Amino acid sequence: MPTPTNYQSLAYEAVKKMIMTSTLYPGMKISKNDLVKKLNIGDTPVREAILRLGKEGLVKVVPQSGTYIAKINMQEVYQALFVRETIEKIVFVEASQVITADQLEDLKKMVQVQKIYDNEKEIDNYFKLDEEFHAAFYAIAEKTFVWQWMQLLNMQLNRYRYLRLMVKDLSRKSITDDHEKLLKFIENKDVDALQEAVRHHLHLIDQDVIKVRAAFPDYFVDDL
Do 160 and 96 fall within a single domain? yes
Q: In whole numbers, what is the pLDDT of the chain averaged over residues?
A: 94
Do 149 and 45 fall within a single domain? no
Do 96 and 203 fall within a single domain? yes
Rounded to whole angstroms, the Cα distance separating 26 from 23 reads: 9
**Own/partner long-range contacts of 107-111 (Cβ < 8 Å, ≥24 apart):** 107/133, 107/136, 107/183, 108/180, 108/183, 110/136, 111/176, 111/179, 111/180, 111/183
- Domain endpoint, select from 29, 53, 69: 69
Do 89 and 182 fall within a single domain? yes
Contact status, residue 138 vs residue 147, Cβ threshold 8 Å = yes
Do 53 and 92 fall within a single domain? no
Express each pLDDT in 101-149 by its tens digit: 999 999 999 999 999 998 778 999 999 999 999 999 999 999 999 999 9
> Is 2's pLDDT higher than 80?
no
Which residues are within 8 A (CB) of 176 and not within 5 positions of it... i.e. 6 or more apart?
A: 111, 114, 115, 118
Do 139 and 86 fall within a single domain? yes
3-state secondary structure 55-72: HCCCEEEECCCEEEECCE
Q: Looking at the domain assignment, is residue 221 inside a domain?
A: no
Confidence (pLDDT) at 40: 92
DSSP 220: B
Do 90 and 22 fall within a single domain? no
Express each pLDDT in 54-86 by its tens digit: 999 999 999 989 999 999 999 999 999 999 999
Do 40 and 81 fall within a single domain? no
Confidence (pLDDT) at 3: 61
- Domain endpoint, select from 69, 88, 111: 69
Here the CATH number for the domain that contains residue 129 is 1.20.120.530
* pLDDT tier for residue 4 given thresholds of 50, 70 and 90: low
Rounded to whole angstroms, the Cα distance separating 75 from 58 reads: 15
Do 79 and 57 fall within a single domain? no
Task: Tell me if residue 1 falls in helix, strand or coil.
Answer: coil
- C-alpha 108: how far from its chain's center? 21
Task: Tell me if residue 25 falls in helix, strand or coil.
Answer: coil
Do 41 and 101 fall within a single domain? no
Which residues are within 8 A (CB) of 171 and not within 5 positions of it... i.e. 6 or more apart?
A: none
Express each pLDDT in 152-180 by its tens digit: 999 999 999 999 999 988 888 999 999 99
Domains identified in the chain, total number: 2
- Domain boundaries, position 11: 4-69
Task: Tell me if residue 139 falls in helix, strand or coil.
Answer: helix
Contact status, residue 22 vs residue 162, Cβ threshold 8 Å = yes
Confidence (pLDDT) at 120: 75
* Amino acid identity at 147: W
Average pLDDT score over residue span 5-32:
94
Q: Looking at the domain assignment, is residue 224 inside a domain?
A: no
- Domain endpoint, select from 69, 89, 117: 69
